[in-house]
Amino acid sequence: AGDEVVVHGLSFSIEDDSALVVDARAKAFEEARAKAEQLASLAGVELGAPISIVESSSRVPVPFAGELRALAEADVTTPIEPGAQEVVVTVTVRFGIRG
């Protein structure tokens, strides 16, 4: 029939996540520093300045393909609401040590 629509997948994304990435980056760096400070303390040395910093980030889209299949099989009209979005920043920091 002419009114049938087939959808093979649907995902939502954040249009402008730059502020979220900045916040996630700051949190990741502070977490790296806190862990390094604890390890330095346990080793009886002082934490030095960062020697290298490597960042990787990802934006994880939320797929809805399974839910769409279930809706198609049930033949119901239900609005599709976006779920939670996640912005992930991983920071690997090498710190120098003193003493």
Q: Is 1 domain-assigned?
A: no
Picking from 44-48, 55-59, 90-94, which range would have the lowest pLDDT averaged per residue? 55-59
Q: Confidence band (pLDDT; 50, 70, 90) for 75?
A: low
Share above pLDDT 90 across residues of the chain, in percent, rounded to a whole number? 45
Q: Is 44 domain-assigned?
A: yes
Q: Is 55 domain-assigned?
A: yes
Distance CA 22, CA 18 (A): 6
State the DSSP code for 1: -
The total of structural domains in the chain comes to 1
Range of the domain at 82: 11-98
Above 80 in pLDDT, residue 76? no
What's the whole-model pTM score?
0.65
Structure tokens at 73: 């099989």
Q: Is 60 domain-assigned?
A: yes
CATH code: domain of residue 49:
3.30.110.170
